[in-house]
Amino acid sequence: MHTRILIPLFASVLAMAALAGCDNTATTSDSSASASASDSAIATSVMTSSDSTAASSGASSSDSTTSSASASAVTDNIPRTDFPHNPATQLVAGSGDGYTDTSNWAPGICFPIAQTPDYADSQVYSPGGDHYPNTTHPTGSQCDTSNYAYPWRDNFCETRPQWANPMCTSGAGHQGQDIRPTTCKANMYWAVAAEDGVITQVGSYTVAVTGNDSPHRIFRYLHMQVASLKVKLGDHVVRGQKLGLISNNFGISNGVQQYTTIHLHFEVRIAQSETLPDGTVLAANAFVPPYTALVDAYQRKLAGDCPTVE
């Protein structure tokens, strides 16, 4: 893993900055880092920023004596079961310029879905997406069997010209990883906490967990069924704890419910400024690639790691 220089800040301030940085944009905090209207053949608009709530505080740096490095050391002793997956940065051909940093930005996390198997892939450039097989007409069904089969496919930095993302070669792109649950059924499969932490955002289809442990990674979960949420703002959660059910919820626009494909959009953000070995400075709240961490977490999940907590 690369060695990074971290500029420490209190996590309570970081949680506010992380959310405010997205809440105070022209688009909703839920959608600015999630699937946009282009992420689904049927999603046509996004919500307003008033649809999400930021926390006034999160886990402080004194809340934990265990770092991500030590958490990783513990999980290093857990067996792993491999599965078919493409390497990090290998996007669907023609779907974007991708990125180059394949670091594990969140070592030791719990895989964010309780049930297996699950399928990381593109929602836009796969059957049922609005860029499949061309850029003008959606073709196929989101329930196509090819969407529910290995191998996994990375889609961080997939083409989204409207979303700034300094980790992407182009400077803009998809800010998380899309994961389909076991079957093409909404409101059946649970999203779970990646780390022990605090709920620092609850939106109309979004939940964020800020990790207790340094460096206080921020994990966001999008397209949740609001009625199923088992957490509220400020709750403390433990690794593997149920958060809510994965759905096709894309919020409400002008009083009309919007939908996307059935999937979990999972993000990892840094809570404080970090400097990469090449001198690139990532500002607090920047998105970082989750795919490598997710592959490792899924391998451990298949071997029995991370039991579900009610």
pLDDT under 50: residue ranges of the chain: 1-3, 7-67, 134-137
82, two tokens: 């491999």
In terms of phi and psi (left: phi > 0; alpha: psi -120 to 50; beta: otherwise), the region of 251 is left
Full set of structural domains in the chain with CATH? 5-302 (2.70.70.10)
- How many other C-beta atoms are found inside a 10 Å radius of the C-beta of residue 110? 26
For residue 136, what are the CA distances in angstroms to 41, 42, 65, 132, 133? Answer: 10, 13, 52, 9, 9
pTM over 0.75: yes
Buried b (16+ CB within 10 A) or exposed e, 143-171: eeeebbeeebbbbbbbbbeebebbbbeee
Q: What pLDDT, in 10s, does the model give residues 167-197?
A: 999 999 999 999 999 999 999 999 999 999 9
pLDDT of residue 140: 79
Q: Note whether 127 and 148 are within 8 A (CB).
A: no
Confidence (pLDDT) at 70: 54
Q: What CA–CA distance (Å, rounded) separates 72 from 211?
A: 14
pLDDT for residue 130: 76
Q: Give the span between the Cα atoms of 92 and 173, in whole angstroms.
A: 14
**What pLDDT is stored for residue 7 in this prediction?**
45
What is the Cα–Cα distance from 108 to 72, expressed in whole angstroms?
4
Q: What pLDDT was estimated at residue 76?
A: 78
